[in-house]
Structure 1
Amino acid sequence: MEDGLYPLRKVPVVNPEQRPIGDVSVPLNTGDVREFKKEMGRLLEDPIGVAEKLDQFLGPNIYTWVELQSIFGILFTTEEREMIRHSGMRVWDRECQGPDQGNQKWPMQDPGWNNQNERHRQKISDLRWMIIQGIREAVPKGQNIRKALSEHQGKDEPLAHWLERLRKALQLHSGVDPDTAAGQAAATEERPTQKLNWKTDSPVWVEQWPLSKEKLEALQELVDEQLAKGHIVETTSPWNSPVFVIKKANKGKWRLLHDLHQINNVIEDMGSLQPGMPSPAMLPQNWNLAIIDIKDCFFQIPLHPDDDPRFTFSVPTLNRKAPRKRYHRKSLPQGMKNSPSICQWYLSSLLSPVHAAVGEAIILHYMDDVLVCAPSDDLLSHVLDLTINSLVAAGFELQEEKILRMPPWKYLGLETDASGRSHKSVIAWKNPQTQQWEKNIVEVEGSPQVAELAAVVRAFEKFPEPFNLATDLAYVAGVVSRAEQAVLSEVSNSALFNLLSKLVNLISHREQQFYGMHIRSHTDLPGFIAEGNRRADALAAPVEMAPLPDIFGQAKISHQLFHQNAPGLVRQFHLTREQAQAIVSMCPLCQQHALPALSAGANPRGLNSCEVWQTDATHIMSFGRQRYVHVSVDNFSGAVYASAHTGEKSSDAMKHLIQAFSLLGIPKSIKTDNGLTYTSKEFRSFLQQWGVEHKTGIPYSPTGGKNPPKSQKGPQPTTLVSKIRNTPNPVVQSLVHSEFFKLHV
Structure 2
Amino acid sequence: MLPADWPVLIVDLKDCFFTIPLHPDDRPKFGFTVPTINNAEPAQRYQWRVLPQGMRNSPMLCQWYVARALSGVRKRFPDAHVYHYMDDILVATPTQEELLRLQPQLLNALHSHGLQVAPEKVQQQPPWKYLGVKILERTIRHQEVQFVQSVKTLNDAQKLVGVITWLRPYLGLTTARLSPLFELLKGDTDLKSPRELTPEARKVLEEVQQAVSACQVYRIEPSIDVTVFITTPDLHPTGIIGQWNDDWTDPLHVLEWVFLPHQPHKTATVLFELIARLIIKCRQRCLQLMGADPSKIILPVQREEFDWSYANNVSLQSALEGFSGQITYHLPSHKLLQVAKNTQFSLRPKSSQEPVQGPTVFTDGSGKTGKAIVTWQDGSEWQVLEGHEDGSAQLVELKAAVMAFEKFSQEPFNLITDSAYVADIAQRLSCSVLKEVSNPALFDLLKALWCAIQARVHPYYVLHVRSHTNLPGFVAEGNARADKLANPAWVAPQPDVLAQAKASHGFFHQNAHTLQKQFQLTATEAREIVESCDDCHVLGAPLPAGVNPRGLKALELWQTDVTQVAEFGRLKYVHVTVDTFSSAMWASAHTGEKARDVIAHWRQAFAVLGIPSAVKTDNGPAYASQQASDGEQQPRAKVRVRNLVTKQWEGPYDLIAMGRGYACVSTDTGTRWLPSKCVRPDLRPQRQNSADRQDDLLIAGEAEDKVQAESIRLLNFLSAKGLKVSKAKLQFVEEEVKYLGHYLRKGEKKIDPERVKGILSIPPPKSKKQIRQLLGLMGYCRQWIENYSTKVKFLYEKLSQGGLVKWDEKDDKHLKALRHDLVNAPVLSLPDLKRPFYLFVNTDSGTAYGVLTQEWAGKKKPVRYLSKLLDPVSRGWPTCLQALVACALLVEEANKITFNGELRVLSPQNIRGILQQKAEKWITDARLLKYEGILLDSPKLTLEVTALQNPAQFLYGRPSEDGLAHECLSTIEEQTKIRPDLDEEELEEGDRLFVDGSSRVINGKRVSGYAIVGGEGLAVIESGPLSGSWSAQACELYAVLRALQ
TM-score by length of 1: 0.28
**Structure with greater Cα Rg:** 2
Specify which structure has the bigger relative contact order, considering alpha-carbon pairs within 8 angstroms and separated by 6 or more residues: 1
